[in-house]
Amino acid sequence: MNVDQETIARLIDEKAGQPFEMENDDFMITWEVALAEDLMIARRVVFFDSDDLDDIVDYLEAPYGDWDACNEIYDSIMVDFIDCYGEDLYLGSAGELSLFDSFASPDDEGLMWILSTFGKNYADFLLDAFFYYGDFLDEMCCPDDDSAVADPEELARDAEAHQVRKVLQHCTDATLTVCYPDDSMVYWEFANAEGKLWYRRADLDYVDGEDVECIDEYGCFDLDDPDGWGALHDSVLGLFANGDVEEWDEFGDPFGLIGINPDDLEDED
């Protein structure tokens, strides 16, 4: 039995409970599911965090008596869930998103509605999430070349960079952009949060006004770590050491945040 999309949309609006929402830095996905006219029907909407991409709306249906067909809808929901949060689970930053706490938790009305529609409970959901996360790990950690082995140090650096990006996305306190006559520049982001100083340094080289290369460095250190402060001061002051800085732009108070006097930079220049 094929039902047109307008009918599915109307039935979803009439019969579905709260949507189950999931999101990451690039997109948000909502799922709505309902039972109507001996069918399981669903609406999936993908909202992109970009004006250049149009939202995607999919409508799905399956005879309620055909469990395999209904389970394909549930599988699609779980795949989306891991697509959204697999990287955070892998890199240990899911706790910062309150995953399984504020949402995707037993108090998440949208999730609980969907689980009840499929005859599942929250324990079933967690077991299913672990199963699909296992597939995610297989794809991420086991490349097609069986001889390739992930470098633990590289994985650790990736995990730290991911965590720093998350912090800076939510609570950047100041930025500093240092420009040179050859159109290259160095861009800094800083945040003071959770007893640490978080930073990103991006070295950008331009040709004919277009960005051709960007080298990123992410890091953090405890606020009471003198070595961390010393290395950061040396790195920032080193940008001015040759006296060829054309200009610099500040947002917030980057020098005050990291403990450098702009007058000292004038002297270096």
Domains of the chain, by residue range, sit at 5-141, 170-268
**How do residues 139-158 score in pLDDT, each as one tens digit?**
765 555 444 445 556 655 66
Gap between the Cα atoms of 184 and 205, Å rounded: 4
CATH of 5-141, one of 1.10.10.410, 1.10.1200.120, 3.40.50.11810, 2.20.25.110: 2.20.25.110
**How do residues 92-120 score in pLDDT, each as one tens digit?**
777 677 788 888 999 999 999 999 999 99
Q: Cα dihedral angle (232, 215, 167, 240), rounded to 10 degrees?
A: 30
Q: Could you tell me what percent of the chain has a pLDDT over 70?
A: 83
Task: Tell me the backbone φ, ψ of residue 100, rounded to 5 degrees.
Answer: 70, 10
| Between 175 and 65, residue with greater pLDDT | 175
Query: What pTM did the predictor assign?
Result: 0.57
Segment 47-59 mean pLDDT: 79
